[in-house]
Amino acid sequence: MSYNWIHAEEFSMNSFLLLDRWIIEMICRDYRGWAEFADNLGIALAYNPAVAWYFMHKSPESKTYVDQIIAKAPGNLTADEVRRAEVFVLQAMETSVVYAYPEVMNRNCNYIYDWDKERLLELADFTDKIVLDIGSGTGRLAFAAAEQAKFVYASEPTGSLREYMRDRIKREKISNMVVVDGTAECIPYADNSFDIVMSGHVVGDHYDLELNELARVVKNGGYLIDCIGDDDKHRRPDEELLRRGFEVFYHVSKSGGDIYRYRKQITK
């Protein structure tokens, strides 16, 4: 399924040189059962030795796999055949490749550009609150919260996105927001540190692990918020969040999507 967040023909394999270890590892781990992808990745890496070197050194746990798929790549391909393989890989990995280009994310990802910050601000009173945003991306939620909050910590595991947010903070002279590394599974803060812990399009791979960790760092009486952006998708409420006691807020987006946002007050 393509989101059309990038037009792969416009991108080079060098895009992968801008991505972090966890993404390279994920690309080499999660798609092993997809033979067409593995074949194309093998060709793309075989004919881009610097990118192959980066994959193996940035993610040593992927080295054996990268060696294997490169070994299977035919040695006599034309430039057009190689480019077709590169474009296949870039398009298939567009949701990761786009992290290397935050401006493209803001421009092409409808969940970001079609979103109204009031959708977040109406979920809680952010005034004077200490807020943590998990998996901030380009900072859709974090910058909105910073307009009202006392202080916002924007946590993001992708380096290019952290740099993008730091540049924007500097450019706009924002004094109540910092950008930090971290994941939902391992938040580098002490228990009970925040009034509000929020995220969007992040929680869902490992509900218990992620939500326990988010709840750990929320103060007694504080809120967990899951606020996805607006898009055109038809979806149902997240049963896993409802089962865990989240309130749900529904609206139809401008492009006709079903948007559900979630909030839970944490009592300790």
Ligand X SMILES: C[S@@+](CC[C@H](N)C(=O)[O-])C[C@H]1O[C@@H](n2cnc3c(N)ncnc32)[C@H](O)[C@@H]1O
140 forms part of the interface with ligand X (CB under 6 A): yes
Residue pair 77/109 in contact by the 8 Å Cβ criterion: no
Single-letter code of the amino acid located at 264: K
Of these, 28, 44, 100, 112, which contacts ligand X (CB under 6 A)?
112
Residues 229, 257: Cα–Cα separation, whole Å = 10
102 forms part of the interface with ligand X (CB under 6 A): no
157 forms part of the interface with ligand X (CB under 6 A): yes
Which H or E element spans position 177? strand 177-180
160 forms part of the interface with ligand X (CB under 6 A): no
Of these, 46, 97, 184, 196, which contacts ligand X (CB under 6 A)?
184
Of these, 94, 156, 226, 230, which contacts ligand X (CB under 6 A)?
156
- Judged by beta carbon, residue 47 or residue 194, the one nearer ligand X is 194
- Judged by beta carbon, residue 69 or residue 124, the one nearer ligand X is 124
The stretch among 79-87, 117-125, 136-144, 189-197 that binds ligand X (CB under 6 A) is 136-144
CA distance readout (Å), 219 to 26, 119, 184, 247 = 33, 23, 17, 18
CB of 140 to ligand X, least distance (A): 3
CA distance readout (Å), 180 to 36, 101, 123, 155 = 37, 19, 24, 5
What is the pattern of x (binds ligand X, CB under 6 A) and - over residues 1-30?
Answer: ------------------------------
DSSP notation for 116-149: -THHHHTTS--TT-EEEEES-TTTHHHHHHHTTS
40 forms part of the interface with ligand X (CB under 6 A): no
